[in-house]
Structure 1
Amino acid sequence: MSFIWAIITGFVLSIVLKTGWGFILGLFIGPMLYQAFCNKLTEQKTKANPELYLTVVFEVLGHLSKAKGVVTQDDINLASQFMDRLQLDRNSRKLAQDSFNRGKASDYPLRSRLAELYAQYRYRRNVLNIFCEQLIQAALVDGILDEKEQQILFIVAEEFNIPRQQMAIYVQMMMGSYHFRQNGYHNQQNQRGQYQHGNHYGGYQGRSTQTDLQNAYKILGIDSSAEISEIKRAYRKLMNEHHPDKLVSKGLPKEMLEAAKKRAQEIQAAYDLIKSARGFK
């Protein structure tokens, strides 16, 4: 079937471009269009499972806590803080607590549970990316990500077919996000009422330091030497991935939506800070 798509695409492009090179180009593009069509069709047929998503997030969080040895009261408090940040209702909080406790078990089937989640969301890559971000964010509540925790995150990457290098980038992005919040800019913007206006995210207008700027680049997942076009491309990509309506339609649990919105606010603040420093619109 992909061969037929290649022929049809090549034929159309040769007419549009009025050159034989259009046909050759179509032979490459056609199969990719076919694969994208099949993925979209499969996504529509595969039902998302928001409860499974929420359950596995907290199971893996419990497993992360256990990886350091003994789960301390501090670990439990940190998990509770994460639940507070998600503004979970009583039933969702009970589900999260039970899931956290299951994840602490020494025989917790990490890979099989991740595989189960991947089977539900494999054609909803944005949601899996959000899963990774939120997991890292939860692990970074204390500002520390030790070697054993990183090993578990790389197992998550393997089961989700995410390149190890990409997971490392996610870690750096969330580290930048953590330090950005620690410097108080999130709270400053909320207090000034400049973060969100209706359905739009407001600009960054606070004082900044070189450290803040470096964290802003990390949040966008780019280097400080990035060209303006690359900065804009990274920003648009991240904002599209964190769009609330799109995430809900793809099966993100409503309990995770507020965290996704706050992440979008941080992305916007980071971008505005970089724009101000680099002097572009």
Structure 2
Amino acid sequence: MQVWGKILGAFFGFLLGGPFGLLLGLFLGHKFDKARTNIYSGRGFGGFSAGRANSAERQAEFFYAGFAVMGHLAKSKGRVTQDEIRVASAIMDRMGLHGESRHQAQNAFREGKEEDFPLGEILTKVRMSCAGRADLLQFFLELQIQAAFADGSLHPRERELLHVIARGLGFSAQQLEQRLHMQEAAFRFQQGGFNQQSQQQGGFRQAPTRDQLADAYELLGVSESASAQELKRAYRKQMNEHHPDKLAAKGLPPEMMELAKQKTQELQAAYDLIRKEKGFK
């Protein structure tokens, strides 16, 4: 424990200002000791990479890792095809990436395809940088799941690698499978009538089918027998986990904010659809 700051602060404070100076010196000395403790323990400069990286650097690391792991996932089926490249480009389009940020994402994707890509090391870095911020880790995992599902199917090798990625981030096999089911439902939900344009006009271009309603339930992680209260609780939980402002406050790179916004729109549309069809208030 650092104490010299308090001792010296109290001593010189008393000499210069008497009892009042002693208290002020003790307070300032405490602040000095606390700052020194944080630096030596690796918390002085953002708590990442032994305390050397600031917030912008952590965001850059997260951004790079997201697309590099995505490239590694695309390579899991063998040779990366034009379909996988189109999937990555589509995700970049959804994020609204242009110019330098898009160039960085493309470079990271290419590096992830290399044979010697250090997947375990990258996942460990992501997990350490997001310590105490489970929502960010979940976002990272869901980004990889979205990339795997973007072509409409999940290859067995992709599923296998997603389990490796999930373990590296600290998620169980059961948690991954739940997210896979929810993302599959989300994919069908999007294909079945929901998109960003129609969402602004009520969510669906046409009357939803029973399958679309089932997908909305699965997207929110509740059963079709859920009560209005259970539905609302699940909706609020999902929105809390994916809210762009909360993710931004926890360190989500600004380049990825658009995906978080789209996810909340999707959750809102699913919730509104169920409420309307079930007559919930």
- TM above 0.5, yes or no, is yes
Deviating beyond 3 angstroms after TM superposition, the runs of 4 or more aligned structure 1 residues are 203-206
Does structure 2 retain, via aligned residues, the 8 Å contact 1:220–1:235?
yes
Q: Residue 77 in 1 paired to residue 118 in 2? A: no
Cα shift at 1:274: 1.2
**Which whole-Å deviations, capped at 9, do the CAs of 1:39-94 have from their partners, x for residues lacking one?**
xxx8x953551111111111111111110011112211221111111111211111
Q: Residue 168 in 1 paired to residue 168 in 2? A: no
Match for residue 194 of structure 1 among 166, 191, 201: 201
Does structure 2 retain, via aligned residues, the 8 Å contact 1:63–1:104?
yes
Root-mean-square deviation over aligned CA pairs: 2.1
Whole-angstrom CA distance in 1 between matches of 2:137 and 2:206: 32
Cα shift at 1:205: 8.6
The residue type paired with residue 139 of structure 2 is I
User: How do residues 20-169 of structure 1 correspond to structure 2 at under 5 angstroms?
Assistant: 46=47, 48=55, 49-169=58-178
Cα shift at 1:149: 0.7
Moved more, 46-55 or 144-153: 46-55
The residue type paired with residue 184 of structure 2 is M
The residue type paired with residue 73 of structure 1 is Q
Cα shift at 1:204: 6.6
Cα distance change of structure 1 residues 188 and 94 upon mapping to structure 2, 3 Å threshold: closer
Whole-angstrom CA distance in 2 between matches of 1:268 and 1:152: 30
**Which whole-Å deviations, capped at 9, do the CAs of 1:187-217 have from their partners, x for residues lacking one?**
4524xx336xxxxxxx779521101101101
Whole-angstrom CA distance in 1 between matches of 2:214 and 2:239: 19
User: Match of 1:217?
Assistant: 217
Count of residues in correspondence between the two structures: 231
Whole-angstrom CA distance in 2 between matches of 1:235 and 1:95: 35
The residue type paired with residue 247 of structure 2 is L
Whole-angstrom CA distance in 2 between matches of 1:138 and 1:55: 15
Q: Residue 237 in 1 paired to residue 237 in 2? A: yes
Describe the SS at the equivalent of 1:185.
coil
The residue type paired with residue 271 of structure 2 is Y
Q: Which runs of 5+ in 1 are unaligned?
A: 1-41, 196-202
Cα shift at 1:256: 0.8
Larger Rg, first or second structure (1 or 2): 2
Does structure 1 retain, via aligned residues, the 8 Å contact 2:73–2:161?
yes
The residue type paired with residue 107 of structure 2 is D
The residue type paired with residue 160 of structure 1 is L
**Which whole-Å deviations, capped at 9, do the CAs of 1:205-252 have from their partners, x for residues lacking one?**
952110110110111122222333322111001111122211111000
Q: Residue 178 in 1 paired to residue 191 in 2? A: no
Cα shift at 1:147: 1.2
**Which whole-Å deviations, capped at 9, do the CAs of 1:17-55 have from their partners, x for residues lacking one?**
xxxxxxxxxxxxxxxxxxxxxxxxx8x953551111111
Moved more, 205-214 or 251-260: 205-214
Whole-angstrom CA distance in 2 between matches of 1:241 and 1:194: 25
Q: Which runs of 5+ in 2 are unaligned?
A: 1-42, 48-53
Whole-angstrom CA distance in 2 between matches of 1:217 and 1:135: 22
User: Match of 2:208?
Assistant: 208
Cα distance change of structure 1 residues 243 and 264 upon mapping to structure 2, 3 Å threshold: same
User: Match of 1:272?
Assistant: 272
Does structure 2 retain, via aligned residues, the 8 Å contact 1:121–1:127?
yes
Whole-angstrom CA distance in 1 between matches of 2:82 and 2:111: 16
TM-score calculated relative to the size of structure 2? 0.77
